[in-house]
Amino acid sequence: MTCPKITGMHLNTVMPTYKPIPKNGPRLVVSNPLPPIHAALCDAINTRHQIAFIYQGKPRVVEPHDYGMQNGQARLLSYQTGGQSGSGRLPDWRWFDVAKMSDFKALDETFPGNRPAPSGRHHQWDKVFARVGEPE
């Protein structure tokens, strides 16, 4: 087999150099993959089911309201109604880094829908995956 003839190239043309492929092969780098609970969390918000999980070693029971990406991190804004908190009294609004949540489960208990935001406005998101609607 012969190489195809290359035309239009000068002998003094500099070809680009590439780094060699590492011995363990090329790697696909995925930045900020969706967390394993992504679908279950979206479903809980869309069906207005409370959720329970462990966060920073404490059990939490919350109404999930807004879930999305904020500054490159998957975050959840929710109204915590039960469990424990290290940052104040309950019930109250809480932010959670979804990657730090464990033992996630959707509960049978539902909630009516959106609550008024204490500031009267929604937070800025890079991307919203799910947001609870107005009460029915």
In this predicted model, what pLDDT tens digit does every residue of 116-128 receive, in sequence order?
776 655 678 889 9
Tell me whether residue 116 is in a domain: yes
Evaluate whether residue 126 is within a structural domain.
yes
In a domain, 86, yes or no: yes
Is a pLDDT exceeding 60 seen at residue 65?
A: yes
Q: In this predicted model, what pLDDT tens digit does every residue of 88-136 receive, in sequence order?
A: 899 999 999 999 999 999 999 999 988 877 665 567 888 999 999 876 6
One-letter amino acid of 71: N
Instruction: Decide if 2 is inside a domain.
Output: no
**Two structure tokens written together for 9:** 């190239």
Query: Does residue 93 fall inside a structural domain?
Result: yes
In a domain, 74, yes or no: yes
Position 18 scores a pLDDT of 63
- Asked if residue 94 is part of any domain, the answer here is yes
52: amino acid identity, one letter: A
Quickly list DSSP for 70-126: ETTEEEEEEEEEEE--SSS-SSEEEEEEGGGEEEEEEEEEE--S----TTSSPPP-S
Sequence-distant (≥ 6) Cβ neighbours of residue 43 within 8 angstroms: 49, 106
Q: Is 101 part of any domain? A: yes
Banded model confidence at residue 72, pLDDT cuts 50, 70, 90: confident
- Alpha-carbon distance values, 125 to 65, 66, 122, 128 (Å): 13, 9, 9, 6
Percent of the chain with pLDDT over 70: 68
Q: What's the domain count of the chain?
A: 1
Residue 93: which domain range?
50-130
